[in-house]
Amino acid sequence: MPKLSLEQLPLAGKRVFIRADLNVPLADGTVADDARLRAVVPTLRHALAAGAAVVLASHLGRPKGKPAPEYSLHPVAERLSQLLEQPVPMAPDCIGPETTGLAKALQPGQILLLENLRFHPEEEANDDAFARDLAALADCYVDDAFAAAHRAHASIEAITRHLRPAAAGLLMQRELEALGRILHEPARPLVALLGGAKVSDKIKLVEHLLSKVEAIAVGGGMAFTFLRALGHDVGRSLVEPDRLDTARHALEAARRQSVQIMLPVDTVVAEGVDSSRGRAVGIREIPAAQMGLDIGPLTVARFADLLRGAKTIVWNGPLGVFEREPFAAGTLAVARAVAESSAFSVIGGGDTIAAASRAGVLDRMGYVSTAGGAFLEFLEGRTLPGVEALTEAP
């Protein structure tokens, strides 16, 4: 069901609790990459301009349920104040009398950032009493943290039992619309491009997409488990022996459903990821003492041809060890092929985004998801607690 959106809430004079994903990398006490902060700025600006007082909350890192100075959100507050061009004061905690007092004193157009939610073990435990304390800080709830929507945590799921209505923020709304466009009535052909190291990480996604797509192109380390399942000797390439039957079943299911699974026909091999160079060989020619670390040029051409004919593309996972220069060419070439396609493209996952950025085509993707795990789980057809908890649109 469509969810209530921030734009449908009467915000004037209200205190709104906005759960964002401000989990950004820090370096020397400052924000090293503010992409997630910039992604939530439109939601914050909308609420503030509408006359709301904003109580902003997030987690940062894994402090294991207790205060840890290195995981404080203070650097985030400093960077947000620059992005919003207004003060973003910090509460000393996310609950407690002092925090409650600061929240209740907020005036329309003002914002308060709570300290790291994960300084309390009750957050990840989805504790009801903790959620009730958070809910007491505001009059309504907005979730703009799609990247954390697959977590049943107190500030994401339990809080909505006590604070209604619960609406989707502008970023959450864009994520749901873009991913929903893939799963429901996409322009066809729909092609999935999947990479990454392990079949075990993506097999549920493969199985779910078989009923949605016309073709799946598989690269990265996970491709070698499929190739081994077909009887290929892949040398020392990454293979999950306990997933060979799973891979065979997926290939058979694809055949029955007339879905093409396109696997590499060549690969760039070397003795290991630290090798200074690699060479392209056919899949049947992988030396016993070497491993495949990138898709080869023939595979790049085949993948690019497939993508050229697509109307919708979803991409998750690099197609080789692209962090290493000798094994980056395949992933970067395919990233450019996605960008050059006339298809509506959606990409997600940190490595995928990094690869598109390195290829210089990130701004040419149709939609770039801020999520990793939630992106995959949504595409697997799983119910996300953070989405399920939101109020249905009228």
Residue 126 has phi, psi (to 5 degrees) of 55, 40
Say yes or no to pLDDT of 295 above 80: yes
Ordered DSSP codes for 233-289: --TTS---GGGHHHHHHHHHHHHHTT-EEE--SEEEEESSTT-S--EEEEGGG--TT
Give, in order, the Cα–Cα distances in Å from 276 to each of 14, 36, 270, 301, 359: 59, 34, 9, 24, 21
Residue 54, both tokens: 């904003």
Q: What is the rounded average pLDDT of the residues 203-218?
A: 92
Q: What is the DSSP letter of 99?
A: H
- C-beta neighbour count of 223 within 10 angstroms: 30
Ordered DSSP codes for 301-334: HHHHHHHHT-SEEEEES-SS-TTSGGG-HHHHHH
Q: What pLDDT, on a 0 to 100 scale, did the predictor assign at position 301? A: 98
Looking up tokens 């964002």 gives 20
Residue 202 has phi, psi (to 5 degrees) of -125, 0
Q: What pLDDT, on a 0 to 100 scale, did the predictor assign at position 199? A: 86
Q: Longest Cα pair distance anywhere in the chain, in angstroms?
A: 70
Q: In what order do the strands lie in the sheet with 166-168?
A: 111-113, 53-57, 15-19, 140-143, 166-168
Say yes or no to pLDDT of 269 above 90: yes
- Please state whether the peptide bond connecting residue 97 to the residue before it is cis, i.e. omega within 30 degrees of 0: no
- Rounded Cα distance between 385 and 158, Å, is 10
- Provide Rg for the chain, Cα atoms: 23
Count Cα atoms within 13 angstroms, Cβ side, for 177.
Answer: 11
Q: What is the rounded average pLDDT of the residues 296-312?
A: 97
How confident is the model over 84-141, as pLDDT tens digits?
A: 999 999 999 999 999 999 999 999 999 999 999 999 999 999 999 999 999 999 999 9
Q: What is the rounded average pLDDT of the residues 202-214?
A: 90
Q: What pLDDT, on a 0 to 100 scale, did the predictor assign at position 1? A: 66
How confident is the model over 235-262, as pLDDT tens digits?
A: 999 999 999 999 999 999 999 999 999 9
Model confidence band, residue 183 (pLDDT cutoffs 50, 70, 90): confident
Q: What pLDDT, on a 0 to 100 scale, did the predictor assign at position 12? A: 97
How confident is the model over 76-88, as pLDDT tens digits?
A: 999 999 999 999 9
How confident is the model over 347-365, as pLDDT tens digits?
A: 998 899 999 999 999 999 9
Residue 83, both tokens: 């992005």
Looking up tokens 């760039």 gives 268
Query: What structural domains and CATH numbers belong to the chain?
Result: 6-173 (3.40.50.1260), 186-379 (3.40.50.1260)
Residue 50, both tokens: 């509408």
- Rounded Cα distance between 166 and 151, Å, is 16
What is the average pLDDT score of the chain?
A: 95
Q: Return the minimum-mean-pLDDT range out of 181-190, 266-275, 356-365.
A: 181-190
Closest CA to 42 of 71, 75, 84: 84
Ordered DSSP codes for 39-75: HHHHHHHHHHHTT-EEEEE---S--TTS--GGG-SHH
Residue 140: helix, strand or coil by DSSP? strand
Q: What pLDDT, on a 0 to 100 scale, did the predictor assign at position 158? A: 98
Say yes or no to pLDDT of 46 above 80: yes
What are 291's strand-pairing partners? 270
H or E element at residue 351: helix 350-358
> Who's near 272: CB < 8 A, 6+ residues apart?
291
- Rounded Cα distance between 65 and 249, Å, is 41
- Rounded Cα distance between 268 and 287, Å, is 11
Say yes or no to pLDDT of 198 above 80: yes
* Active site residue ranges: 36, 198, 350, 373
The rounded percent of the chain whose pLDDT value lies above 90 is 89
Say yes or no to pLDDT of 185 above 70: yes
pTM: 0.86
Model confidence band, residue 297 (pLDDT cutoffs 50, 70, 90): very high
Burial of 387 (0-12, 13-18, 19+ CB in 10 A): buried
